[in-house]
Amino acid sequence: MTDEMAWIIQAQNGNDEGFTNLVETYQKPVYNLCYRMLGEAEAAEDAAQETFLKAYQNLARYDRERSFATWLLSIAAHYCIDRLRRKRFSTFSIDEDEEGQTELPDNSAPDPENEAVKKQTRERLQHCLQSLEPVDRAAVIMRYWQDCSEMEIAQALKLTIPAVKSRLHRARRALADSWEGKPARMRPERKPYGSPAF
């Protein structure tokens, strides 16, 4: 039995220490997903905390045959999608970096110019991400930041695998348009099981 499964069983039996270990292990991927989805450090912290609370409350329903990481990311993604749909706040402050503080080029780094370019690229990508519709954004984040397979994304976002593929294609095309500075193409939001052909 893996450590993770032992912690899950402990937590399901009411041992808070087991759940604390799970929080320690998954805080970074969950926070990253929330941060990329919401674009604000403070909102991401709150969403990540709420994700773990929801997981804690619904742990008895967790199916041990499934991947715990996918289950957790699914909760985080749906929480952020709901939050974005409710509030529609997608403004990203380019003054903030991943830690919620201003990131200045590191002059002590071997190549400060290169560091500044990398930082600018990250900010530009984050800015472009905000132009995607919430479900597409979640799919892209899970694919590229969390390294999830298309099947895991489909399970987490309750989509079919062809729908995930279609959304990833569409999202990357939209990101490229935004990267170029073109206005985002407004497309009606597809139903979860809607065929990509229509």
Sort 17 into a burial class: Cβ within 10 Å, 0-12 / 13-18 / 19+: exposed
# of chain residues touching another protein (CB under 8 A): 41
Rank residues 46 and 67 by Cβ distance to another protein and give the closer one.
Answer: 46
Rank residues 44 and 157 by Cβ distance to another protein and give the closer one.
Answer: 44
Task: Tokens for 69, please give them.
Answer: 């990481």
Question: Which positions from 30 to 59 touch another protein by CB under 8 A, shown as an x/- string?
Answer: -xx--xx----x--xx--xx--xx--x---
Rank residues 52 and 79 by Cβ distance to another protein and give the closer one.
Answer: 52
Which residue of 10, 20, 90, 160 would you call a contact of another protein, by CB under 8 A? 20
Handedness of CA 143, 144, 145, 149 (dihedral sign): positive
Task: Give me the least distance between CB of 90 and another protein, in Å please.
Answer: 17
Task: Tokens for 180, please give them.
Answer: 């170029």
Task: Tokens for 145, please give them.
Answer: 């930041």
Task: Give me the least distance between CB of 65 and another protein, in Å please.
Answer: 14
CA distance 92 to 195: 32
Helix, strand, coil share (%) of the chain residues, nearest 5? 65, 0, 35
Which residue of 12, 67, 149, 160 would you call a contact of another protein, by CB under 8 A? 12
Rank residues 157 and 175 by Cβ distance to another protein and give the closer one.
Answer: 175
Task: Give me the least distance between CB of 78 and another protein, in Å please.
Answer: 19
Map the footprint of another protein across residues 170-189, applying CB under 8 A. 172-173, 175-177, 179-180
List, in order, residues 6 or more apart from 112 with CB less than 8 Å away.
105, 106
- Give yes or no for a contact between 126 and 36, defined as CB atoms under 8 angstroms apart: yes
Map the footprint of another protein across residues 85-124, applying CB under 8 A. 98-100, 121-122, 124
Q: Is 169 in the site for another protein (CB under 8 A)?
A: yes
Q: What is the DSSP letter of 129?
A: H
29-59 CB burial, b ≥16 within 10 A, e <16: bbbbbbbbbbbbbebbeebbebbbeebeeeb
Site for another protein, rule CB under 8 A? 12-13, 16, 20, 23-24, 27-29, 31-32, 35-36, 41, 44-45, 48-49, 52-53, 56, 60, 98-100, 121-122, 124-125, 128, 140, 144-145, 169, 172-173, 175-177, 179-180
